[in-house]
Copies of this chain bind each other. A is one copy, B any other.
């Protein structure tokens, strides 16, 4: 099964720190979403346009391993990969490291369902699966 990859960077915001001095754990899921957004832009169909087309990808599962600290203003590099996950799910793999030295920060995946605008589960549209370089199921 093929997968597509994209790399983006971001800086830890002050609002994302907590009193332990690093980033608060839930920020990882927010950064993963930024990675997905940039990934789909690279695709040629930004996620914002997917929703306009009536395709919604709500998250159904998330997993994160926290591998190292990152502090306010640290520059992070995030790699996002995407692949179908069975016939009715898509899975994104996310990896975050320090931009300056590649030291690991967090790694995880998210699994998403395919819904139409009314919230009904659907098969992934052909235009979506073809973006992933895969046969329509």
Q: Are A73 and B48 in contact (CB under 8 A)?
A: yes
Within the oligomer, what is the number of copies of this chain?
A: 4
Asked if A11 lies at the interface with its beta carbon under 8 angstroms from chain B, I say yes
Q: Which residue of B lies closest to A113 (CB)?
A: B66
Q: Which 3 A-B pairs have the closest CB atoms?
A: A26-B29, A17-B19, A48-B73
Residues of B contacting A29 with CB < 8 Å? 15, 25-26, 29
- Measured in the bound complex, the distance between the Cα atoms of B17 and A21 in whole Å is 10
Residues of B contacting A1 with CB < 8 Å? none
Residues of B contacting A28 with CB < 8 Å? 26
Q: Is the interface of A mostly helix, strand, loop or mixed?
A: mixed
Q: Are A63 and B66 in contact (CB under 8 A)?
A: no
Residues of B contacting A58 with CB < 8 Å? 20, 22, 66
Residues of B contacting A26 with CB < 8 Å? 15, 26-30, 33
Asked if A34 lies at the interface with its beta carbon under 8 angstroms from chain B, I say yes
Pull 9 A–B residue pairs with CB atoms less than 8 Å apart, ordered by A: A11-B37, A13-B37, A19-B21, A20-B56, A20-B58, A25-B29, A25-B33, A26-B33, A46-B73
Q: Mark A34-45, 1 if CB is under 8 A from B, else 0.
A: 100100000000
